[in-house]
Structure 1
C-alpha cells in the first residue's frame, strides 16, 4: 500500500519527518521552501508555518516545543504562536553551509549534520548538541550528511554521506565521542543515493533512495531484505508513526524534477513496527 497524503503539497526539498505522539501528528520540513508542515493523524488535516530561512529539521523538546536546525544554527522553536530563540551557530564562519538532517537519542542529545548549499565540496561536518546546550563537532568532513539512525541504547549509529553513496556505522563511546567510520553499505549507481534513515523495532535499517523512488529495508549484515517503490524519484526520509508505530510516512523533493507527486508526503505499509521518537532533553 502506498498513499499520497492529500494536501501535503509539493515541497522543494521535503525532509525530516518526525512522529509526535503528544500531538498525534507527523511533522516534516521543506528545507528550501522554508516551511514546517504538520499532518494530523486524527483527521488528515495539513497545517504549515513559514520560516525566515532554510530549515533542515525539527525535534521535540521534553519540556514542550521544538529544537530546529536553521541555516543559522540550532534554535528553540514554538509554532503556536511562532517564536524562534537562537541557541548556537556551530559554523559562524561558514555562510555557505546549512543544517541538513538530525536525530535525538535516548540520552536526550541531538546529532546533526551540516552541508554546503551547493551540494559540492566537503565543507560539512557532524555535531552533537547536549541537553546543557553545549555544541561539539564530532566528525567530518562531509559533503551531504544524512540520517542518522541511532540504536535504542544510544551506543551505535548509522550515518550517511549521500554524495559518496555510502552508509557508515559508528560506535557512540561512553565519553560521547564517535568511533571510526566503518563502511556498512555502499549503494551501487542503479540504487541512487542513500538519504534519510531510521531503525525499526527488529533492528533493521530503512533507507530512502534519492533518485530511484523507493525505500528499502536492510538486515543487520547490510543485505537488502525489502524494497517499496514510490511514485516520485527523489525520496528523502521516513518515520514510523501512529500509536502502534506501524505506519510509515515518507518525504520527497520536487527540486529539479517534473513529476506529478514529487514533493508530496506518502504513507506506506512497512509490515513492521518502529521505535519511539526520542526528544531533546534540554
Structure 2
C-alpha cells in the first residue's frame, strides 16, 4: 500500500461538530454540526462556511415538532436545495434561506422512518440514504452499533421512500459508482463497526440486488469507514474514523491501494470541490474543516451534471 502525507490546510475549527461537507451549484460551502445538547434536547446546526474569510454562520437549527435534530450528512440537488440526513428527524430539506421541511415520516410500506446519517444522489436524481438510528422522533434515540437494525433507503425521483435493505450495524457513508455512460451502477455502503464496504447492484430507482462485500478496511487500525467520495478515475476516498487516515480504493474495491495521512485522528467525511482536486475533510478532534489537494479531480456531483 502506498502511503502519502499531503499538506493539509485548516479552514475552520471549534465548531459544535463537523460532518456532511458539501458544495452547492454556486460553489457555496456547507457542513453540519450534528450533536449539540441543550436542555436535554439535541440542537444540531447546518452551517454556511465562507471559504474566503474562513468564517461560519448558522443557516438552520433543524427542529420538528419541538424536537431538535442531529444533522449528519448533506447533498445538494439541481435546484440548489440541501438534502440532509438527520439521526433524529430522518430526511429533511433546507433552502438557502434556512427554511426546513421534513420530507416524510414513513416509507412506502407504512413503516416509521429511521434516523438517517448520510446520503448521496445518483445521476438520475435518486437519493440513497443510510439510516443507522432507530425510529425518528418522538421515539427514543437509538443507534445500531451493536444490534444490527440499521437500514438503507432510496428516495426516488418519483418522490417515493423505499427501504432497500436492513440488518446492518451502523450503516454510515454512502456512494454511487456510475458506468462510463453515466448510468447508476453500484451502490456502496459503509458499515462502520465491521470495517466493511458493501456493494449492491443498482437495478433501478429504489431497486438493488443482494448485498455483497466490496471492500474491507485494514484491521490494524482502530475505527471503521465513515464518509466517502469518488475522484474522476473512480477511486473511492474513504474517511477511516478514529485512525487519522483516508483509505483509497480502486473501482473494483478489495483492499485500499493508498493511505492518506491526516493531521487529526477522528476523520468523519470528505467532499471534492467541483472541477478541482481540492478535498475538504471534516474531523471531530477540533470539530474542524481542512483542505488538501489530491492527485486527481473529483467526480462530478448530481447537481453539477448536465442531464443525460
TM-score by length of 2: 0.79
Superposed, which structure 2 residues align to 1:107-186 within 5 Å? 107-116=124-133, 117-118=142-143, 119-152=145-178, 153-174=183-204, 176-186=206-216
For the residue of structure 1 that corresponds to 2:103, the secondary structure is strand
Residues 75 and 181 of structure 1, relative CA distance in 2, 3 Å threshold = same
Residue aligning to 2:49: 39
After superposition, the C-alpha distances for 1:62-99 in whole angstroms (9 at most, x for unaligned) are 2232222232222231242x22122212478769x521
Contact preservation (8 Å) 1:245, 1:275: no
Deviation at 1:113, TM superposition (A): 1.2
Structure 2: where are the runs of 5+ without partners? 1-6, 37-43, 64-68, 134-141
Contact preservation (8 Å) 2:131, 2:172: no
Aligned residues: 268
1:189 aligns with 2:193: no
Contact preservation (8 Å) 2:187, 2:202: yes
Question: Partners of 1:137 and 1:270 in 2: how far apart?
Answer: 35
Contact preservation (8 Å) 2:269, 2:282: yes
Deviation at 1:231, TM superposition (A): 2.1
Contact preservation (8 Å) 1:26, 1:241: no
Structure 1: where are the runs of 5+ without partners? 255-261
TM-score by length of 1: 0.86
RMSD (Å) for aligned C-alpha atoms: 2.4
For the residue of structure 2 that corresponds to 1:208, the secondary structure is strand
Contact preservation (8 Å) 2:216, 2:255: no
Residue aligning to 2:294: 270
1:231 aligns with 2:257: no
Question: Partners of 1:204 and 1:183 in 2: how far apart?
Answer: 17
Match among 233, 236, 239 for residue 205 of structure 1: 236
Residues 182 and 35 of structure 1, relative CA distance in 2, 3 Å threshold = same
Deviation at 1:175, TM superposition (A): 6.0
Question: Partners of 2:131 and 2:164 in 1: how far apart?
Answer: 12
Residue aligning to 1:4: 10
Deviation at 1:185, TM superposition (A): 1.7
